[in-house]
Structure formats: structure tokens, C-alpha cells
Amino acid sequence: MTTRYTKDHEWVRLEGDVATVGITPYAAEQLGDVVYVELPAAGASFTQGADMAVVESAKAASDVYAPISGEIVSANEALSGAPDLVNQSADGEGWFVKLKAANTGELDALMDEAAYADYVKGL
């Protein structure tokens, strides 16, 4: 199971044809304390790069973009009652959505962990 990253600080982890998506620990750290997460409903479809969710912190609100195209199969309902899960475990329990991948080839355009780490160092 490989994790890929976008320049907008989303991560995507593909298992079979279902991808789990969230924001990176770096993004969560930059946002500060997350106070609200707006997630799409199951059945919604997104193309790669489309606005998919919103995360709000005490500092700012940020759009979360679909790292790959697909249809939402589930959203992390735990975030509605505990948005701080994003800060505690951005790349684990703080995941945002699971989507059925429309084109797994889109993953090839995303960064692997080493490339993302280098990208973040340059920010």
C-alpha cells in the first residue's frame, strides 16, 4: 500500500480500487487547531484537482482537493464530532474520505513520500 502526495498537501492511499484521502501532518500543523471539517456525501463524484472538502482552523479555512478522480464511498463521520483528530493523526484516524478510484493512473502524477518531504523542505 503506497501513499502519494499532492502539492496542495493531500495524501492518498490506494487499497484495491478504494482510496483513502486526507491532509498531511504538515498541512495540519500549518493550519493549527482544526475546529471544523466539511466533507462531501457518499455518492458525490470529483475529478482530480476539484474542491472536495473544507477544513477550518482558528487561523484559516482551506479547501481540500481531490488527489485523484473518483466517487465518494464514505466520509469520516468521526470528524464532525472531533475535528481535532486531524491534528492528532492527520495521516491516520484523521482521514477525510474514501473514494472509489476512477483512474488509478492519476496516482503516477503525484509525489512519493521522499519527493513530498523534499518539496516541504523547500517551502
- Global pTM? 0.96
**Class of domain 3-102 (CATH, top level):** mainly beta
DSSP symbols for the chain:
--EEE-TTSEEEEEETTEEEEEE-HHHHHHH-SEEEEE-PPTT-EE-TT-EEEEEEESS-EEEEE-SS-EEEEEE-THHHH-TTHHHH-TTTTT--EEEEES-GGGGGGSB-HHHHHHHHHT-
Asked whether residue 13 carries a pLDDT value surpassing 80, the answer given is yes
Asked whether residue 85 carries a pLDDT value surpassing 80, the answer given is yes
Asked whether residue 1 carries a pLDDT value surpassing 80, the answer given is no
Q: What is the pLDDT of residue 98?
A: 98
Q: What is the pLDDT of residue 92?
A: 97
